[in-house]
Amino acid sequence: FGPSAERPLRDAIVAAQAAGGTLLRDSGTVGAHLPLLGTLRELRQAGDRVESFEAVLSGTLSFVLGSVQQGEALSAAVQGAVALGFAEPNPARDLSGEDAARKLVIMLRALGHDVDFADIERVALVEPGLVDGVEAARFPAVLREMDETWRARTAIADARRERWVYRATYAHGRARVAPERIALEHPFARLAPCENALILRSKYYAAAPLTIAGPGAGIDLTATAVFADLLDAARLHAAAPTPELAAAAA
């Protein structure tokens, strides 16, 4: 999507905005209707310095891994995500981690970092070679090849009192998205399937981290974010009343 586009396209979009006096609103691109991007931009404008953060950014992978951790097969969990509208009919981009990585790019740019998609270290949930070019109808059969692997991984996690999440991290200038095991005591381990979350540490939030969490996918929530952006743009572009209209209103 545009906000995570490579630098040449990103710069062209910014230049077009400046030349045309237009607005680009993107709150629905990360976390559906969660106040993630607005919060990051406000912290930057207020002079805060974000040292590090970790996040669960893919509602699709949150749902899939949450379902798998509860005993469902990977292939069935992906089918369930598609059926509920939490994933595209062809979820290859989600499973490769591309969607989460692009969301991480958008967040880092909101903080003022000049990063590109290629700067994000990305570990796929399902190897791209397994799903690239596969038609949506064949996805369940292809993913069944990974069902036993993920059953074994979740069994190991259960034995170690851990849980699998697809985590985005930023620290010391390094940005990464990857499936990782976390302790059951970690806040991310308590997330419901489909939930997104951000835990952020900064100059202002040194004593305790800033935490934002809630549902991060779904048609209704995303549409609400887009509609809110449209209303915001309409308000900013509303024409000032003419003297005649002002007089009539008086």
Q: Which residues are catalytic?
A: 103
Task: Identify residue 120 by its one-letter amino acid code.
Answer: I
Contacts 24+ apart (CB under 8 A), 35-40: 35/212, 36/107, 36/196, 36/198, 36/212, 37/106, 37/107, 37/110, 39/210, 39/212, 40/107, 40/110, 40/111
Paired tokens of 70: 């509860």
Q: Give DSSP secondary structure letters for 201-248.
A: EESTTSSS-EEEEEE---HHHHHHHHHHHHHHHHHHHPPPPPHHHHHH
**In the block, which residue shows the tokens 């905005």?**
17
Residue 160's H or E segment, with its range, is: none
Q: Which two tokens stand for residue 33?
A: 């209707």
Task: State the Cα–Cα distance between residues 194 and 60, nearest whole angstrom.
Answer: 6
